[in-house]
Amino acid sequence: MTGVPRPDPVDADEAQFWAALREGELRIQQCASCRAFRHPPRPVCASCGAAERRWQAVSGAGVVWSFTVVHPPTLPAFADRTPYGAVVVRLDVGVFLVSNLVDCPIEDLAVGLRVELALTRAVAGTDAGDGFVLPLFRRV
């Protein structure tokens, strides 16, 4: 449906993640102490408890860890896209992102499928409006 706003995903801990995507880069929060990557972003490291953190650019390469096919009913902003595949991608750095695959029919979705980040406004669905760029993926 055109004109129906998508939910706003940003809070204070996630703002830098979304800002990096707007700049054309995927950055994942990393503990400055133990160097563990973490996503979603949060104020304290679950591995060591440190509060110091940095944002590290990563390639966006990974594998489909899980997926589901979304059918109606769904949120009005996504209704015109159904059915579509929602994927959980395990990035090579070890964190998970929930996203979609572009240029991949739902019947081709499979656990273990190698994927890469498709982060360009030229990819349909990447530019979500209101300054948001979505981290979508494509088959390698």
What the chain holds in terms of domains, given with CATH numbers, is: 10-58 (no CATH), 59-140 (2.40.50)
Mean pLDDT is lowest, of 12-21, 29-38, 60-69, for 12-21
Question: Is the pLDDT at 21 greater than 60, yes or no?
Answer: yes
Cα separation, 21 vs 118, whole angstroms: 11
Q: Which helix (H) or strand (E) holds 54?
A: strand 53-58
Q: What is the mean pLDDT of residues 29-45?
A: 95
pTM over 0.85: no
Question: Is the pLDDT at 38 greater than 90, yes or no?
Answer: yes
Cα separation, 140 vs 138, whole angstroms: 6
Say which residue the tokens 């440190």 belong to.
Answer: 50
pLDDT-above-70 percentage for the chain:
84
Task: Map residue 3 onto helix, strand or coil.
Answer: coil
Q: What is the mean pLDDT of residues 91-112?
A: 94
- DSSP letters, 57-113, are EE---EEEEEEEEE-SS--GGGGGG-SEEEEEEEETTS-EEEEEBSS--GGG--TT-
Question: Is the pLDDT at 31 greater than 70, yes or no?
Answer: yes
Those residues with Cβ within 8 angstroms of residue 45's Cβ, 6 or more apart along the chain or in another chain: 31, 33, 34, 36, 38, 51, 53
* Cβ neighbours of 87 (radius 10 Å): 23
Those residues with Cβ within 8 angstroms of residue 98's Cβ, 6 or more apart along the chain or in another chain: 86, 87, 88, 89
